[in-house]
Amino acid sequence: MAQPTIPNDLDFFYDFFLHTKSAELTYIYRGIFTQAIIKHILSLTETNIDKTGESVKVKKRVYLIMVEGLQNITRHQELKEFEKKNQAIFLIQKIGSQYHVTTGNAITNDRIEMLGSQIEKVNSLNEDELKVYYREVLTKGKISDKGGAGLGLIEMARKSGNKLLYKFQQVDDRESFFYLRTEIFSEGEGSPQVEPDPNALEGIEGMQNILEAKNILIAFNGIFSQESLLGLLSIIESQMADNKNVYNIIVEMLQNIVRHGISATENPSGNEAMFLIREQKGDYLLSAGNFIKRSNADKLRERLDYINSLDDKGLQSFYNLKLLDFETNDGKESGLGFAEMRLKTKKKLLYCFREVDDEFSFFTIQAAVPVIVES
Amino acid sequence: MEPLIIESGGDTPYVNFNPGTNTFLIAEKSLPANAVEFYEPVFAWITQYLKDPNENTFFDFKLDYFNTSSSKQIARFFKFIADSPFKERVSVRWFYEEDDSDMLDSGLLYAKLIDINFEFIEY
């Protein structure tokens, strides 16, 4: 049976990679936030921050601010399962010695005024005043029906020692998108209080537009290693528990990056790369992009074209041959991984090469796996 | 012979080969970045064991996931059995979760490609 062809739009991948590359680490989750997913987002980020050798204090601050931000989303998200637009996003970036935690979620327009004034109030207070205010709200505060009372906002300001950045982007007469960013310095208490750039959230709309247009559910841009891979996998396992195919293919893709990718900046801890999960017309589109030597591009293209050219029977015998090829046993052979991806997806693998400079190309590969609809 | 016990490492499987109790289990996930390295001690152990295996040896493979680089090492594992003069004393019990037809298919492929005793058990 002929499969409907998925258009190759992978050219956007490298542009989005550059868009998020200003940070050493970018992790984006967009969609429905459940407790299980939050738990895994937290543990993934924890793993990644652990590796940076950050002090316990900074780690805990980042963690607590993430918890507040994520819970803010769950408290206010209305579960619009079928509405793909205006889904909540969570974004963490490491930029130099700072961590930026950004959340974005739809709120009804009638809440804008109250939220805005709560944040302004928090931003107007210094450290000591915040402490007093916190106690005040805690003991006799007006608890909102969602259990918030702005305590989360106060905590985020206290833990970061910074002003909160926010922005309301009107969607329609009923709803707006509410962005909230907290910037945390990793230098500890001695760090000077730097006023956050009030225009910092201007770029977020552009990113949000790409996320929506391409229906990106998960983006991870950073250094890939076996540890970060395991963190990503635990999220995917909780989110797509009934879709082992997705899991298996992601393992192959990510390990391809770890094994064959190269670092364009000679980063010793792993390879800079990006991984995306998108959803489109009943398929999960899993794509991974990394740098390769330009001189290796032709060989890789040939191998992929060859694997794509095989029919079911040819593919299976190629796979069997590679599986039993004990002569090559250095764990480096990649034909097996590509063949496995094709066998599992039953579709051709889409790919894209982009020449970056004289030495490097950026290679993107995508596999499509049907979304399993629960009956 | 001393048992071989390797605790699971999140991305590496739990291995418990115990000739004394006649139980041989490999379970959970096998996704190591370097499968060749992980399986080296396992192969060293079975090479020794297969010189005189128990009369009814069942290697239980109860894996949730494995990556392609492990799939090749698993094939090697079965090849060690196939090349043993005592291969008739040894069977592989391939466990697959209900509904996990991929895991069953992987096992069936091994059974087709490598001539040793296989049993398939749904759990």
- Residue given tokens 């390295």 in the structure block: B37
The CA-atom distances, in angstroms, between B98 and each of A239, A375, B105, B121 are 20, 17, 13, 10
- Under the banding of pLDDT at 50, 70 and 90, the label for residue B31 is confident
Residues of A in Cβ contact (< 8 Å) with B37: 331
To the nearest whole percent, how much of chain A has pLDDT over 90?
A: 24
CA distance A202 to chain B (A): 40
To the nearest whole percent, how much of chain A has pLDDT over 70?
A: 82
pLDDT tens digits for range A144-189: 545 455 778 888 898 888 899 999 988 889 888 899 999 888 765 4
A187 or B98, higher pLDDT = B98
Could you tell me what percentage of chain B is helix, strand and coil, using 3-state DSSP and rounding each to the nearest 5?
Answer: 35, 30, 30
A247, A258, A320: residue with CB nearest B65: A247
Phi, psi for A29 (deg, rounded to 5)? -125, 135
A195-204, A208-217, A286-295: least confidently modelled range: A195-204
**Domain assignment of residue A340, yes or no:** no
Check which CATH number belongs to the domain holding A115 and give it.
3.30.565.10
Closest among A254, A238, A224, A265 to A356, alpha carbons compared: A265
Residues of A in Cβ contact (< 8 Å) with B31: 230, 233, 251, 255
Residue of B nearest to A252 (CA): B67
A251, A252, A324: residue with CB nearest B75: A324
pTM listed for this prediction: 0.82
**Domain assignment of residue A367, yes or no:** no
B33, B71, B76: residue with CB nearest A326: B76
Q: Which domain holds residue A284?
A: 11-292
**Domain assignment of residue A255, yes or no:** yes
Q: In this complex, do B71 and A230 lie within 8 Å of one another by their Cβ atoms?
A: no
Average pLDDT of the residues in A8-34: 85
Residues of B in Cβ contact (< 8 Å) with A345: none
Chain A interface disruption, residue of B68, B105, B109, most A CBs within 10 A: B68
Beta bridge partners of A222: A273
Chain B interface disruption, residue of A225, A237, A244, A333, most B CBs within 10 A: A244
Q: How many separate domains does chain A show? A: 1
**Domain assignment of residue A240, yes or no:** yes
Closest among A231, A165, A183, A189 to A65, alpha carbons compared: A183
**Domain assignment of residue A319, yes or no:** no
Average pLDDT of chain A, as a whole number: 81
Residues of B in Cβ contact (< 8 Å) with A251: 31, 65, 67
B82 shares contact with chain A (CB less than 8 Å): no
pLDDT tens digits for range B53-94: 999 999 999 998 888 889 889 999 999 999 999 999 999 999
pLDDT tens digits for range A226-258: 777 777 777 777 666 667 778 888 888 888 777
Residue of A nearest to B36 (CA): A331
Residue of B nearest to A243 (CA): B100
Per-residue three-class SS string for chain A: CCCCCCCCCCHHHHHHHHHHCCCCEEEEEECCCCHHHHHHHHHHHHHHHHCCCCCHHHHHHHHHHHHHHHHHHHHHCCCCCCCCCCCCEEEEEEECCEEEEEEEEEEEHHHHHHHHHHHHHHHHCCHHHHHHHHHHHHHHCCCCCCCCCCHHHHHHHHHHCCCCEEEEEECCCCEEEEEEEEEEECCCCCCCCCCCCCCCCHHHHHHHHHHHHCCEEEEEEEEECHHHHHHHHHHHHHHCCCCHHHHHHHHHHHHHHHHHCECCCCCCCCEEEEEEEEEECCEEEEEEEEEEEHHHHHHHHHHHHHHHHCCHHHHHHHHHHHHCCCCCCCCCCCHHHHHHHHHHHCCCCEEEEEECCCCEEEEEEEEEEECCCCC
Q: What gap in Å lies between CA B58 and CA B123, rounded to an integer?
A: 17
For residue A33, pLDDT over 60 is answered with yes
Q: What is the pLDDT of residue A326?
A: 83
Residues of A in Cβ contact (< 8 Å) with B100: 244
Q: What is the pLDDT of residue B83?
A: 95
Per-residue three-class SS string for A292-349: EEHHHHHHHHHHHHHHHHCCHHHHHHHHHHHHCCCCCCCCCCCHHHHHHHHHHHCCCC
**Domain assignment of residue A303, yes or no:** no
Chain B interface disruption, residue of A323, A334, A338, A372, most B CBs within 10 A: A323
A345 or B48, higher pLDDT = B48
Which residues of A have a CB under 8 Å from any CB of B?
226, 230, 233, 244-245, 247-248, 251-252, 255, 258-259, 320, 322-326, 329-331, 336-337, 340, 344
- Under the banding of pLDDT at 50, 70 and 90, the label for residue A49 is confident
Q: In this complex, do A230 and B76 lie within 8 Å of one another by their Cβ atoms?
A: no
For residue A57, pLDDT over 50 is answered with yes
**Domain assignment of residue A362, yes or no:** no
**Domain assignment of residue A90, yes or no:** yes
B100 or A275, higher pLDDT = A275
B98 shares contact with chain A (CB less than 8 Å): no
B65 shares contact with chain A (CB less than 8 Å): yes
